[in-house]
Structure 1
């Protein structure tokens, strides 16, 4: 069987029945006690640099086992891996073996180096006679290289119960070179606790995740989805978590609701997160701590500063939620913590990239939810940490960052906005841009919207676009432009929806502004442009109420 890119995306590269090792591979060991395919969770790669990347898989012949161990025996299992230049594995460039151990839920992380920069590779695993699906990945260009372009997509918020992961499939079909996941990869709720209008089309397995076994089982349920597997297999990922990988709206050591066992829960969630993501060893958790903020460089074209806005933040001000809150401006409050803030500001000063992207979790620009003089904003976003936001914004200005662009998830809606130092003055200088991706499924099908017809646009003129259909953002970055396609699906509560570009925005080199080049509303929404919604019918919050 020839493993074409299409077969890779469709998930038809099956286990050893249809594919064999190259003739130079080690002799196959006899089939051991594993009687079922252990590669039910697929394969993944991540965190590319110029000479390597991380390869990942996890053995789980029974992925939804209640103990979180995937039906694996209580013993170490050797896992062979192989990397090639071609999809048929005729030109193998390296191979080796790792050990999948029970204490890590039989997860495997292979950190590779000494590969050629800026190259596409293919990889696969074998364990006790079973062969994994094939994944495609790549190394980053040399840090000194002038790069013509990068095709990168980013996504967030995939609540398994709220719909089918078709958007992941459509993202994979675009064949990006790099994928960012900006948080809420999985959700913690038990079935029936977070229900969309009309009912959830599918259910979580197991109770709310609070134990290591529970988090492992939940990650396995998500990873079992073939559409998510296709997205992991098509390109390297760079991941950061938000709140639902642990619990809703947690802040550092403070849970959403009082819970004496929260730190044990956080430690369990971090451990399971690492086990199930293609992360480098620098991110191995140490109890309740996990090093997640880091940088990816793509030649001289761009630097991605991946942030962690949960683990070090001050607790949400004024009781969380949408508030008019003077405490939010307290200079002592931080959403990044002092150490990460220093790291980020130092990165700005050292940057020589054409584009500096902040890959992070929660809304960065101001979103005022009130038409009157009071400014009512989300305390869970950067609006709840305005001094922290001001320091970061002034930091990229003082450093002379050429093109600062913030990439955001969390809010279950597409947004495009221009960033200010003074949001109270709409005529003040624009100092950056923000692109926000909608959810993959969270919130259900969503609604097509035209921002210019909605009342909030009158008092948030810096926010240029809003749409609550599900989807992801596809970008193409060149030295001269960053083009962002807001990709949407008409429905997710049944499978198979097509994706289309709802709107396209272009950011030009050295021009901190958004230029819209495409607007493709549904016919019903286009006809409704002349009928603005009343202010009291517009609700900006899109996270779980």
Structure 2
């Protein structure tokens, strides 16, 4: 692959991502008197609302003003001016008891997205929120704050989804997940958007059409904004975001397939690719309810974060793409003990979090599969076995470790062994791999990859249909439920079916099929 982009200096790339502090601050909180133009008329909140970065006393809210979300220039139909956005948080859906309200500026530098951080909230409490701009009012979202640090809730349930290739099928999984009764959080485990051009060859989602600007591979900031807008225009995804708070990690398609750190897998020179990484990371921040640390400075950012659900669970969200060593060129290279998937700093961080965790359950979200499958799967942790061994050693010292991952477009449940080569080795955790929401279309229960997985006795489930995963944690056990739908290409009407359900007792890293 070649690029016609001009050569870019490192300084230019850094300037691209480094917004002024005042601009960033005004997108989070601004005084009522902050200068802003009168908002355009019409419906401004066509991309919905979201909440995320949950804490016992705070939550980040998100929306983006976009009266024409799919405008070809990527600006959502907004003029290049600043517009005021008001937000409210209440304890009732009718907003009769508003407990927090504020104001932020939607600015063209951030795609007219705002990220107000609401503080001073009560732990383990249900809230409702909405935005207003001009004569337009957003849909109502809701969230529940995390329990206090010393509390041990009876139950905490998360949904897990990944791989949202909009053009491959309808988001039926989101429709069903948003309707789950007991749901506290959704984890987006990577590939929230895809960068490929959408053409007649890959547009499998029936009943839709896209304009020519979607046919090219995404490379510029405006193109990434347009691709996020296309993905977030889906009504079922909007309903899921409005239903519960979200946390997100990325994998490769948020930038480019199979990229590693600052290197393109398709031959782009490093300077050009650094520009692409910078704008891709910027668009990620602009379209998700993440905290300010996720805003990049050029091609560098930090999405590594974590939170505690009282003393019940500790969550650690990993970045398995930005800091990894290059794909190994030889077997000797693959086995090099110095190779890293996470980078030294992040590896120390997750080691410390697991070693010091007071929680019953320790949940780690990984952008790629940790389980040993085959040595030639070098884009997964199989390409970084020494780094995997170090993480498994840390897990062995910890308690009740659960890895949540996606990437492979299959539903898989595995038991994690201290030494995958030794059948007698003890289990140190379990890995729950959610299938895709739409990527690869309808799918099938088995395929050509099945023998690679099913040769291992620690693999307890393998299925290639679309769907999602729910994980329900209690002080006594974890229940993981894999849900699938039989089709996504034709329409969004497929019913949900439980593919498999496993129980993992606290203190035993086993998957017992229920």
For normalisation by structure 1, the TM-score amounts to 0.84
Report the CA distance between 1:202 and its aligned residue.
5.4
- 2: CA distance between counterparts of 1:153 and 1:199? 26
Q: Is the Cα–Cα contact under 8 Å of residues 313 and 335 in structure 1 kept in the other structure?
A: yes
Cross-structure match for 2:390: 391
Report the CA distance between 1:401 and its aligned residue.
1.3
Greater displacement, 270-279 / 425-434: 425-434
Report the CA distance between 1:33 and its aligned residue.
5.3
Cross-structure match for 2:306: 295
Q: Secondary structure at the match of 1:502?
A: strand
Deviation readout 1:373-407 (Å, 9 max, x if unpaired): xxx4310000000000000110122xx31101111
Please tell me the root mean square deviation across aligned C-alpha atoms, in Å.
2.2
- 2: CA distance between counterparts of 1:454 and 1:243? 23
Distance 1:136 1:458, change over 3 A: closer
Cross-structure match for 2:510: 513
- 2: CA distance between counterparts of 1:443 and 1:361? 18
- The reply on whether 1:38 has 2:35 as its aligned counterpart is no
- Within a 5 Å distance, the mapping from 1:279-358 to structure 2 comes to 279-318=290-329, 325-358=331-364
Q: Is the Cα–Cα contact under 8 Å of residues 470 and 482 in structure 2 kept in the other structure?
A: yes
Report the CA distance between 1:492 and its aligned residue.
0.3
Deviation readout 1:171-230 (Å, 9 max, x if unpaired): 101141111001000000111397388999755852211000000111111111101101
Cross-structure match for 2:24: none
Cross-structure match for 1:257: 266
Pick from 386, 406, 428 the counterpart of residue 403 of structure 2: 406
Distance 1:443 1:458, change over 3 A: closer
Q: Is the Cα–Cα contact under 8 Å of residues 165 and 492 in structure 1 kept in the other structure?
A: yes
Report the CA distance between 1:425 and its aligned residue.
2.0
- Within a 5 Å distance, the mapping from 1:215-294 to structure 2 comes to 215-260=224-269, 261-294=272-305
Cross-structure match for 1:212: 221
Q: Is the Cα–Cα contact under 8 Å of residues 161 and 202 in structure 1 kept in the other structure?
A: no
Q: Secondary structure at the match of 2:266?
A: coil
- 1: CA distance between counterparts of 2:258 and 2:469? 24
Q: Is the Cα–Cα contact under 8 Å of residues 41 and 57 in structure 1 kept in the other structure?
A: yes
- The reply on whether 1:177 has 2:159 as its aligned counterpart is no
Report the CA distance between 1:103 and its aligned residue.
1.0
- 1: CA distance between counterparts of 2:359 and 2:379? 30
Q: Is the Cα–Cα contact under 8 Å of residues 161 and 200 in structure 1 kept in the other structure?
A: no
Report the CA distance between 1:281 and its aligned residue.
1.1
Deviation readout 1:402-422 (Å, 9 max, x if unpaired): 101111110000000011122
Pick from 457, 460, 474 the counterpart of residue 461 of structure 1: 457
Pick from 76, 91, 94 the counterpart of residue 85 of structure 1: 91
Distance 1:489 1:354, change over 3 A: same
Pick from 496, 499, 512 the counterpart of residue 502 of structure 1: 499
- 1: CA distance between counterparts of 2:116 and 2:450? 49
Report the CA distance between 1:329 and its aligned residue.
1.6
- 1: CA distance between counterparts of 2:465 and 2:392? 30
Q: Secondary structure at the match of 1:49?
A: coil
Distance 1:36 1:458, change over 3 A: closer
Determine which structure has greater relative contact order: mean sequence separation of CA pairs < 8 Å that are 6+ residues apart, divided by chain length: 2
Cross-structure match for 2:174: 168
- 1: CA distance between counterparts of 2:61 and 2:327? 36
Q: Is the Cα–Cα contact under 8 Å of residues 162 and 200 in structure 1 kept in the other structure?
A: no
Q: Is the Cα–Cα contact under 8 Å of residues 205 and 488 in structure 2 kept in the other structure?
A: no
Report the CA distance between 1:312 and its aligned residue.
0.1
- 2: CA distance between counterparts of 1:483 and 1:187? 31
Cross-structure match for 2:127: 121
Greater displacement, 194-203 / 462-471: 194-203
Q: Is the Cα–Cα contact under 8 Å of residues 410 and 466 in structure 2 kept in the other structure?
A: yes
- 2: CA distance between counterparts of 1:216 and 1:198? 21
Q: Secondary structure at the match of 1:465?
A: strand
How many residues end up aligned between the 2 structures? 474
Q: Secondary structure at the match of 2:284?
A: helix
- 1: CA distance between counterparts of 2:393 and 2:114? 41
Q: Secondary structure at the match of 1:469?
A: strand
Pick from 32, 55, 68 the counterpart of residue 61 of structure 2: 55
Runs of 4+ in 1 over 4 A off after TM superposition: 196-205, 453-458
Distance 1:200 1:360, change over 3 A: farther
Q: Secondary structure at the match of 2:334?
A: helix
Cross-structure match for 1:531: none
Cross-structure match for 2:76: 70
Pick from 354, 359, 370 the counterpart of residue 365 of structure 2: 359
- 2: CA distance between counterparts of 1:463 and 1:295? 28
- 2: CA distance between counterparts of 1:70 and 1:199? 24
Cross-structure match for 2:29: none
Report the CA distance between 1:54 and its aligned residue.
0.3
Q: Is the Cα–Cα contact under 8 Å of residues 318 and 379 in structure 1 kept in the other structure?
A: no
- 2: CA distance between counterparts of 1:423 and 1:450? 24
Cross-structure match for 1:485: 481
Q: Secondary structure at the match of 1:317?
A: coil
Distance 1:290 1:194, change over 3 A: farther
Q: Secondary structure at the match of 2:116?
A: strand
- 2: CA distance between counterparts of 1:198 and 1:54? 32
Report the CA distance between 1:113 and its aligned residue.
1.1
Q: Secondary structure at the match of 1:180?
A: strand
Q: Is the Cα–Cα contact under 8 Å of residues 188 and 208 in structure 1 kept in the other structure?
A: yes
